[in-house]
Amino acid sequence: MKKYIVAFLGLVLVLGTMGAAISVFFVTDTGGLGDKSFNDSAWAGVEMAAKKYNVTANVIQSYEQADYIPNLTAAAQVSDVVVAVGFMMQDALAKVAPQFPNTKFIFIDGVVKSPNVENFLFTEQEGAFLVGYLAAGMTKTGKVGFVGGIPIPPVLRYQYGYESGVETYNVLNGTNVQVLSGYVGSFDDPASGKSMTNSQFSEGSDIVFAAAGLSGLGTIEAAKDAGKGHFAIGVDQDQDYLAPGYVLTSAMKRVNIAVFDGIKSVVEGTFKGGTITLSLKDNGVGMSPMTYTKQLVPKTLLHQIDVLKKAIIDGSLVVPNTKEKFQAFQVPQIQF
């Protein structure tokens, strides 16, 4: 009984400190905080909003998939805004959101149709296209790798964007760079990510792009272990700093901006249910500035990437985002 009272007091304390501020709860996926990628980026967005507005930031990390429903429910009960990230949470959110019509949900990477859910999607393929083109231009062995987490739509967009970037390089430069692709089967298993990357290295690739959340940290480690001449390509955040000189670039997806914009819309009263897609044009996706590796890349290659970037932004180059579109993809003639 005493402990119940303590628990109750604890809750009152938590609720009391919230005061008039808008309380935001961020529910991570199983990758959790510290993935240096997707979840960390979303949390950065929440903290950014907390600095700028009268917002309190809280986080609940999910241990396993079965935690999504209870964690979303618990968060919705005590907060004004719930930030949910990850396509894998879509089914759970679709069940929880309608139960709390007064709570606003910001959802990244999936779509839940409910008036209190604002969904954010990204055109991952556009950033991946650019890093794919770069990888194809930089490989010494004629083979590049792709390591995915779980083949869900956002990761597939990365994969086909990357593969079409490589293909575009091949067509425009008359080369035959090949892509080795594999899936780890989870977003929270760096050890498996590393072993898959190592096997791609041993099959002859020298640059591996990982779109695998926490698992992708294994790819970066593998590139570092393999030493000179091997590169990883990071994902979601600018991961170049994790192993300076061994991460060629990162395909960035500004989850932090999306989360920040979502919270901002609540603060400013412009929140409305629906779906917002962020693309290269809005600076929602892109390539990292290559802080440590830019001097390794030939000037002409950087120039070509700039031209392609403009072509994507003005719509003259549409990057495929599914397997079907990739198979039907015709590389347009581009003059550099």
Count Cβ atoms below 10 Å from residue 138 Cβ, excluding itself: 21
Q: What is the 3-state secondary structure (H, E, C) of 101-148?
A: CCCEEEEECCCCCCCCEEEEEECHHHHHHHHHHHHHHHCCCCEEEEEE
Based on its alpha-carbon atoms, the radius of gyration of the chain, rounded to whole angstroms, reads: 21
Which residue number, 58 or 199, has a Cβ lying nearer to another protein? 58
DSSP state of 332: P
Which residue number, 99 or 173, has a Cβ lying nearer to another protein? 99
Min CB(268)–another protein separation in Å: 26
Strand-strand pairing, 55-60 and 207-211:
unpaired
- In whole angstroms, give the CA distance from residue 50 to residue 151: 33
Min CB(78)–another protein separation in Å: 6
- In whole angstroms, give the CA distance from residue 99 to residue 156: 31
Q: Rounded to whole angstroms, what are the CA distances from 265 to 226, 232, 262?
A: 46, 36, 5
Closest CA to 154 of 94, 184, 109, 118: 109
Min CB(105)–another protein separation in Å: 13
Min CB(124)–another protein separation in Å: 14
Min CB(239)–another protein separation in Å: 23
**96's tokens:** 């929880």
Binding site for another protein (CB under 8 A): 3-4, 6-11, 13-14, 25, 30, 58-61, 63-67, 69-75, 78, 87-88, 92, 95-96, 99, 150-153, 156, 183, 185-186
Which residue number, 111 or 313, has a Cβ lying nearer to another protein? 111
Which residue number, 3 or 228, has a Cβ lying nearer to another protein? 3
Min CB(266)–another protein separation in Å: 20
Backbone conformation region of residue 65, classed left if phi is above 0, alpha if psi is from -120 to 50, else beta = alpha
Which residue number, 188 or 240, has a Cβ lying nearer to another protein? 188
Instruction: Provide the 3-class DSSP secondary structure of residue 85.
Output: strand
Which residue number, 4 or 174, has a Cβ lying nearer to another protein? 4
Which residue number, 66 or 296, has a Cβ lying nearer to another protein? 66
Which residue number, 64 or 268, has a Cβ lying nearer to another protein? 64
Min CB(170)–another protein separation in Å: 27
Min CB(41)–another protein separation in Å: 19
The angle at the Cα of 239, spanning 57 to 170, to the nearest 5 degrees, equals 135
Question: First-to-last CA distance in the chain?
Answer: 75
User: Are the CB atoms for 42 and 256 separated by under 8 Å?
Assistant: yes
